[in-house]
C-alpha cells in the first residue's frame, strides 16, 4: 500500500469517526422537547471585552479557540482557549494582524482551524491563517488563489469536513462567491444557485437534515431569507417564521437538540437577546428561563468535549461585552 493510499485512508477514517460521533449524539434528538438553559459562568481569567471576534471549536486540542475582535476603536489579535472552566491566553511567536469580522472553522482533514478575512480599521483583509491546536501555533498560508479581502465572510466546516467560505463585504460590494480550502489553496466553487450577496449572516451546519443553514446578514438586496446548502446546491427556503434579527447573529449546531441555534444579533441598530432554533424546515423561538443580555457580534461555538454551547462577548448598546455563557440541556 502506497503512502498516498495510507494517508487517504487515514483521512477517511478520521472523517468517518467524526460523522459517527455526531450521529450518536443525535439519537432521538429531534423528537425530544428538551429544555435549554443559559448559564453565565465566571472564569478566573477572561479575554477583554470585545465584539466581532472569531471563535470555533478546535477538535485537535479539545478546546474552544477565540481570536481578535474589536473593542471601541481598538482592533485585537490575541489568541485564547477555553476548556470549559478557564480561559487561557496563548502567547504565540506569530499571529494574524489585529482585526475584527474575521471568521474561522475547523478542517477535519488537516486537523487545523482555518481563519480568513476581517477588517483592521483601514483595510479589508484577504489573508489565510492556520491554527494548529496540537502545537498552539499560527501559520500564515500562501495560497495561489484566494477569495477577495472581505469582512464578515461566512467560513464554515461543510458536510465533508472541509472548510468553505461564502460572501463578505470588500468595502465596495457584498460578495456572493463561494470557495473551498484544500489545505494549501482556495478553490472557487460554482453552485448553480447561491444566496444573494451578503456579509455577517448567521450560519450553522445541520447534521440531522444534512444541510448548511444560512440566515440574514448585511446586504444591498433583502437579506431576510433562509437558505440551505446540501454540498451541491443552495435552496431558498420558505419557513413560516423568521428570527427577529438581521445581522451579527451567532449560530451553531446543537447536537443534543439536533438543531441549529441562533442567538442575539441586531436589527436596525437594536441588539437582540432572543434564542431561536432551526427545525429543518422552520424557525422556532425558544424560551429559556434566562438569557444573556442583548448583543450583536458575539462568538459562539459548540464545545464537543463538554457537550454544550459556549458564547463570549459581543456588542451591546452600552459597549463591548466580556462575559461567558453556556447553553445546556
C-alpha cell at 49: 471585552
User: CATH code at 122?
Assistant: 2.120.10.80
Query: Residue 294 contacts by C-beta under 8 Å, 6 or more apart in sequence?
Result: 264, 270, 271, 272, 273, 316, 317
What's the pLDDT score for residue 189?
98
Phi-psi region of 168 (alpha: psi -120 to 50; beta: other; left: phi over 0): left
Q: Range of 95's domain?
A: 3-328
What's the pLDDT score for residue 6?
31
**Could you give the CA distance from residue 290 to residue 160 in angstroms, rounded to a whole number?**
36
Give the N- to C-terminal CA distance of the chain in Å, as an integer. Answer: 46
Per-residue pLDDT tens listing for the chain (329 residues): 333 333 333 444 344 434 444 443 443 333 334 589 999 999 999 999 999 999 999 999 999 999 999 999 999 999 999 999 999 999 999 999 999 999 999 999 999 999 999 999 999 999 999 999 999 999 999 999 999 999 999 999 999 999 999 999 999 999 999 999 999 999 999 999 999 999 999 999 999 999 999 999 999 999 999 999 999 999 999 999 999 889 999 999 999 999 999 999 999 889 999 999 999 999 999 999 999 999 999 999 999 999 999 999 999 999 999 999 999 98
Number of domains composing the chain: 1
What's the pLDDT score for residue 26?
41
C-alpha cell at 257: 437538540
What's the pLDDT score for residue 34?
55
CA 65 from centre of chain: 11
pTM of the model: 0.89
Residue 48 to residues 139, 213, 293, 298, Cα–Cα distance (Å): 24, 30, 17, 13
On whether the CB atoms of residues 306 and 39 are closer than 8 A, the answer is: no
Strand-pairing partners, residue 187, are 180
Amino acid at each position: 500500500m502506497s503512502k498516498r493510499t495510507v494517508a487517504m485512508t487515514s483521512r477517511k477514517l478520521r472523517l468517518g469517526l467524526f460523522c459517527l460521533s455526531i450521529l450518536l449524539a443525535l439519537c432521538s434528538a429531534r423528537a425530544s422537547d428538551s429544555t435549554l438553559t443559559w448559564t453565565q459562568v465566571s472564569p478566573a481569567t477572561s479575554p477583554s471585552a470585545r465584539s466581532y471576534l472569531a471563535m470555533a471549536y478546535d477538535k485537535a486540542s479539545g478546546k474552544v479557540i477565540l481570536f481578535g475582535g474589536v473593542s471601541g476603536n481598538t482592533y485585537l489579535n490575541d489568541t485564547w482557549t477555553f476548556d470549559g472552566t478557564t480561559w487561557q491566553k496563548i502567547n504565540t511567536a506569530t499571529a494574524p494582524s489585529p482585526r475584527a469580522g474575521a471568521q474561522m472553522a475547523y478542517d477535519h482533514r488537516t486537523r487545523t482551524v482555518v481563519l480568513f478575512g476581517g477588517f483592521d480599521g483601514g483595510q479589508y483583509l484577504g489573508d489565510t491563517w492556520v491554527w494548529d491546536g496540537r502545537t498552539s501555533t499560527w501559520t500564515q498560508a500562501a495560497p495561489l488563489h484566494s477569495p477577495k479581502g472581505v469582512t464578515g465572510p461566512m467560513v464554515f466546516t461543510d458536510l465533508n469536513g472541509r472548510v468553505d467560505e461564502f460572501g463578505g463585504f470588500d468595502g465596495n460590494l457584498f460578495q456572493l462567491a463561494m470557495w473551498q480550502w484544500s489545505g494549501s489553496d482556495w478553490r472557487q466553487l460554482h453552485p448553480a444557485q447561491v444566496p444573494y450577496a451578503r456579509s455577517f449572516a448567521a450560519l450553522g451546519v445541520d447534521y440531522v437534515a444534512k444541510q448548511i443553514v444560512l440566515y440574514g446578514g448585511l446586504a444591498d438586496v433583502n437579506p431576510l431569507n433562509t437558505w440551505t446548502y446540501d454540498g451541491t446546491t443552495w435552496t431558498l427556503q420558505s419557513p413560516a417564521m423568521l428570527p427577529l434579527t438581521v445581522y451579527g447573529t451567532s449560530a451553531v449546531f446543537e447536537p443534543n437538540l439536533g438543531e441549529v441555534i441562533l442567538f442575539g444579533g441586531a436589527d436596525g441598530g437594536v441588539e437582540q437577546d432572543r434564542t431561536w432554533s432551526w427545525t429543518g424546515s422552520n424557525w422556532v423561538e425558544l424560551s429559556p428561563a434566562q438569557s444573556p443580555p442583548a448583543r450583536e457580534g458575539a462568538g459562539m461555538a459548540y464545545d464537543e468535549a463538554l457537550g454544550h454551547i459556549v458564547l463570549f462577548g459581543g456588542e451591546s448598546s452600552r459597549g463591548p461585552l466580556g462575559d461567558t455563557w453556556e447553553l445546556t440541556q
